[in-house]
A and B are shown apart, each in its own frame.
Chain A
């Protein structure tokens, strides 16, 4: 390949912590790679594991789910549900042969703009390492 591979990453962020943290990264004018695009949900507990699989099918090279720190969930326990679901999903994805760097979870609070920048950098790096993901891919947009 002549140019470096730029991965495409879909991220699911909870409204109260991680989305606000990502906003803070913006208001603080930090800079990070543009490979990651955010879908806002109210709580990381809303993220159906099938969304992650779906993103991989639709062409994403990596997926991130980010919520409030465990114990700080705006809805009390949504991120605990998320943590359990995605611990299982990660194992399942690894089992079917998806490289571990493709699926990521993080806890970023509303005050952690700097951490958000680091998380994005890390997730993009891992996806770059893993390379383009084609195994699940469908050929055209399918919703």
Chain B
């Protein structure tokens, strides 16, 4: 084929998104005068079927061999147009896009300026496209297994879906039991079905599924490799209990010298546990764990004459010699389902959470109303003689959400409904109680939410619009100071208990996964999806998917839906068994490479090595790129002294013309 460039330039109006600020006719006229340009067209929607048809037709009839599409960001539609080229047999890498929407028409108001800039961008693209070379994508095999990080409802659902499709799943959970936050809930809104009743069967399923290897009380240490071929290293933390021997009978916990003295994480500190513990009775795996930070024997080396748990255990499962274990395996895909942390209301000192025992968070009240909670479901505050049943109860919404002062601008999406649910449960459990909810807005957006909100209001819960400024103590009572903004009336409301509807935050250890997987964060600090609408479970790293609150606050139905989405995305890779690898990778001109190995040192993936070749009868060392490992960052190309190593589609001789055009054109 005669490879003299014949360029087609396609200018998109994007409806009026581009055409409103960029004079597409003037731009087209300009483009038609550029070197090597044979065809120029502008069209309302280049990405639509008729738009793509124009390109295909011109390639076939006019013999175009290079295409410039001036439209939206290449991050949006580069793949779309690559496929268009490919459909008519033109190499998909003979495409260059000029971003005249996101970086031109949308950010400039002046029509002349925007038009002039569009011309420049198109000229630069045309200058580069002439010099592009055809590239061919290679395929590699996908390891038929998946890693799921986090075993809350998101991780559990994703693991079950993948395992049911017949693929191996490694489910890694940091805490001793699967179940996550959902296991702490009593009832779920808006249907009020019991959380444990719908969750525990799934927990048991993951433990018993032949395709799932459950690694509880474990942490991912390292993930290397690339899509289809991740090498994973997991640290199985020492439980100091032999799980093969432990029957979960619980005698150890009864005998432990610290029984009833350590705040239980599961009960949000409302209940107490021993140093050897199972987080909750339905825990999976139903095995005990010794808390290495609390156990007397492990911290001080001494626990009376001998550790009572070990003496009591008839199975001989207690083993203080146990060591952490490193488990290594290979997977093709990774799903991150690490969940959230509840907002710490101590950061809003005006609400007195740290000062007054009767100020609770929503999750604490959740444990209190739960039949499996520390009070067996009775709403009782205080202990012993001071115990009492609160009658006047105030809820405060949006604590730590929609609040710039704590750095959380976002809505946590669940607090409106969990507040309504808790208010309803409290009313049910404390006859004659008087429940009010202080709110900014009520967002009842989900299926059945508005109906539930209505039901709760009709049940006698009072909604008062106002954002309390302060909570203080007066006698035995807590006073909520607030302005009822609908009546423009300042109030000092005396209550027995205040419940703070705390929002959801990224986990405080979110950074660990970022460092391991190179994920990005969005402005709200949750993990960033590849595209907010069209790739909501994908990440910028191929083969890594997101599920649940790790990506942003969401309720249980949305979490399960996203987990199923992530599982299906992972399954696309796993079931096809092949994945195309990056084509825009580096390559070495072995004729000019002098073997200095500077690129070898700089490559973050270890993708370059020195090999001996024969050059004009002499054996010399040159760099060589491992195409499966190279990710196409181009750091080597910028480092090479002789320009011998280059990145395909981003070669020096392809970028320099862009620079020249942008520099010279005024």
Chain A interface residues (CB < 8 Å from chain B)? 8, 10, 15-17, 19-20, 22-23, 25-27, 29-32, 34, 37-43, 45-49, 51, 54-60, 68, 72-78, 81, 85, 109-112, 117, 140-143
Q: For residue B602, which residues in chain A have a CB less than 8 angstroms away from its CB?
A: 81
Q: For residue A20, which residues in chain B have a CB less than 8 angstroms away from its CB?
A: 75
B534 at the interface (CB under 8 A from A): no
Partner among A41, A54, A110, A117 whose Cβ is within 8 Å of the Cβ of B650: A41
B540 at the interface (CB under 8 A from A): yes
Are B520 and A16 in contact (CB-based, < 8 A)?
yes
Q: Which residue of A lies closest to B131 (CB)?
A: A143
Q: For residue B523, which residues in chain A have a CB less than 8 angstroms away from its CB?
A: 111-112
Are B604 and A78 in contact (CB-based, < 8 A)?
yes
A-B contact count (CB 8 A): 167
- The 9 A-B residue pairs with the shortest CB-CB distance, nearest first, are A58-B663, A26-B102, A46-B634, A45-B635, A75-B633, A26-B106, A59-B663, A43-B633, A23-B102
Binds A, one of B109-117, B352-360, B551-559, B617-625: B109-117
B521 at the interface (CB under 8 A from A): yes
> CA of A78 to CA of B632 in the docked complex: distance in angstroms?
11
Are A39 and B656 in contact (CB-based, < 8 A)?
no
A-B contact pairs, 5 of them (CB 8 A): A10-B663, A72-B518, A78-B633, A143-B653, A143-B657
Q: For residue A23, which residues in chain B have a CB less than 8 angstroms away from its CB?
A: 73, 75-76, 99, 102-103
Given the interface pairs A19-B75, A31-B108, A41-B650, the reply to whether A72 lies near B660 with Cβ below 8 Å is no
> CA of A100 to CA of B116 in the docked complex: distance in angstroms?
28
Q: For residue B569, which residues in chain A have a CB less than 8 angstroms away from its CB?
A: none
Given the interface pairs A23-B73, A143-B656, the reply to whether A30 lies near B107 with Cβ below 8 Å is yes
> CA of A27 to CA of B104 in the docked complex: distance in angstroms?
11
Are B124 and A42 in contact (CB-based, < 8 A)?
no
Expressed in whole angstroms, the minimum distance between the Cβ of B69 and any Cβ of chain A is 14
Are A10 and B662 in contact (CB-based, < 8 A)?
yes
B229 at the interface (CB under 8 A from A): no
Are B116 and A77 in contact (CB-based, < 8 A)?
no
Given the interface pairs A110-B520, A143-B656, the reply to whether A55 lies near B663 with Cβ below 8 Å is yes
Given the interface pairs A34-B110, A45-B633, the reply to whether A39 lies near B659 with Cβ below 8 Å is yes
Partner among B605, B638, B663 whose Cβ is within 8 Å of the Cβ of A46: B638
Given the interface pairs A16-B540, A76-B518, the reply to whether A58 lies near B102 with Cβ below 8 Å is no
> CA of A42 to CA of B662 in the docked complex: distance in angstroms?
19
Expressed in whole angstroms, the minimum distance between the Cβ of B601 and any Cβ of chain A is 10
B296 at the interface (CB under 8 A from A): no
Q: For residue B633, which residues in chain A have a CB less than 8 angstroms away from its CB?
A: 42-43, 45-46, 74-75, 78
> CA of A141 to CA of B34 in the docked complex: distance in angstroms?
14
> CA of A141 to CA of B633 in the docked complex: distance in angstroms?
28
Are B647 and A26 in contact (CB-based, < 8 A)?
no
Are B107 and A77 in contact (CB-based, < 8 A)?
no
Contact with A along B636-666 (1 / 0, CB 8 A): 0111000000010010110111111111111
> Given A30-B107, A46-B634, A54-B663, 9 more contacts at CB 8 Å?
A23-B76, A23-B99, A26-B107, A38-B103, A51-B656, A55-B659, A56-B663, A59-B664, A111-B521
Are B103 and A22 in contact (CB-based, < 8 A)?
yes
Are A34 and B604 in contact (CB-based, < 8 A)?
no
Are A8 and B635 in contact (CB-based, < 8 A)?
no
Expressed in whole angstroms, the minimum distance between the Cβ of A110 and any Cβ of chain B is 6
B121 at the interface (CB under 8 A from A): yes
> CA of A40 to CA of B97 in the docked complex: distance in angstroms?
10
Are B107 and A25 in contact (CB-based, < 8 A)?
yes
Are B652 and A48 in contact (CB-based, < 8 A)?
yes
Given the interface pairs A23-B75, A46-B635, the reply to whether A76 lies near B604 with Cβ below 8 Å is yes
Given the interface pairs A22-B102, A37-B120, A58-B663, the reply to whether A43 lies near B521 with Cβ below 8 Å is no
Q: How large is the interface on B (under 10, 10 to 19, 20 to 34, 35 or more residues)?
A: 35 or more
B522 at the interface (CB under 8 A from A): yes
Q: For residue A37, which residues in chain B have a CB less than 8 angstroms away from its CB?
A: 117, 120-121, 124, 662
Q: For residue A38, which residues in chain B have a CB less than 8 angstroms away from its CB?
A: 99, 103
Q: Which residue of A lies closest to B515 (CB)?
A: A71
Partner among B520, B522, B635, B665 whose Cβ is within 8 Å of the Cβ of A75: B635
> CA of A34 to CA of B662 in the docked complex: distance in angstroms?
12
Given the interface pairs A51-B659, A54-B656, the reply to whether A46 lies near B520 with Cβ below 8 Å is no
Q: For residue A45, which residues in chain B have a CB less than 8 angstroms away from its CB?
A: 633-635, 638
Expressed in whole angstroms, the minimum distance between the Cβ of B123 and any Cβ of chain A is 10
Are B114 and A81 in contact (CB-based, < 8 A)?
no
Are B662 and A41 in contact (CB-based, < 8 A)?
no
Interface centre among A30, A75, A85 (most CB of B within 10 A): A75
Interface centre among B514, B518, B663 (most CB of A within 10 A): B663
Expressed in whole angstroms, the minimum distance between the Cβ of B70 and any Cβ of chain A is 13
Q: Which residue of A lies closest to B121 (CB)?
A: A37
> CA of A22 to CA of B109 in the docked complex: distance in angstroms?
16
Expressed in whole angstroms, the minimum distance between the Cβ of A92 and any Cβ of chain B is 16
Q: For residue B117, which residues in chain A have a CB less than 8 angstroms away from its CB?
A: 34, 37
Q: Which residue of A lies closest to B657 (CB)?
A: A143
Q: For residue B658, which residues in chain A have a CB less than 8 angstroms away from its CB?
A: 39
Q: For residue A46, which residues in chain B have a CB less than 8 angstroms away from its CB?
A: 633-635, 637-638, 647, 650
B101 at the interface (CB under 8 A from A): yes
Are A111 and B528 in contact (CB-based, < 8 A)?
yes
Contact with A along B595-612 (1 / 0, CB 8 A): 000000010110000000
Q: Which residue of B lies closest to A85 (CB)?
A: B638
B536 at the interface (CB under 8 A from A): no
> CA of A54 to CA of B653 in the docked complex: distance in angstroms?
12
Expressed in whole angstroms, the minimum distance between the Cβ of B630 and any Cβ of chain A is 10
Q: For residue A109, which residues in chain B have a CB less than 8 angstroms away from its CB?
A: 520-521
Are A141 and B634 in contact (CB-based, < 8 A)?
no
Given the interface pairs A42-B650, A45-B638, the reply to whether A141 lies near B604 with Cβ below 8 Å is no
Q: Which residue of A lies closest to B649 (CB)?
A: A42
Q: For residue B522, which residues in chain A have a CB less than 8 angstroms away from its CB?
A: 110-111
Are A41 and B663 in contact (CB-based, < 8 A)?
no
Expressed in whole angstroms, the minimum distance between the Cβ of B347 and any Cβ of chain A is 22
> CA of A30 to CA of B19 in the docked complex: distance in angstroms?
18
Expressed in whole angstroms, the minimum distance between the Cβ of A95 and any Cβ of chain B is 21
User: Which residues, 455 to 494 on B, are CB-close (under 8 Å) to A?
Assistant: none
B584 at the interface (CB under 8 A from A): yes
Expressed in whole angstroms, the minimum distance between the Cβ of A23 and any Cβ of chain B is 4
Are A143 and B634 in contact (CB-based, < 8 A)?
no
Q: For residue A57, which residues in chain B have a CB less than 8 angstroms away from its CB?
A: 663
Expressed in whole angstroms, the minimum distance between the Cβ of B652 and any Cβ of chain A is 7
Q: Which residue of A lies closest to B634 (CB)?
A: A46
User: Which residues, 185 to 209 on B, are CB-close (under 8 Å) to A?
Assistant: none
B166 at the interface (CB under 8 A from A): no
Q: For residue B635, which residues in chain A have a CB less than 8 angstroms away from its CB?
A: 43, 45-46, 75, 77-78, 81
B631 at the interface (CB under 8 A from A): yes
Given the interface pairs A42-B632, A42-B650, the reply to whether A72 lies near B520 with Cβ below 8 Å is yes
Are A74 and B584 in contact (CB-based, < 8 A)?
no
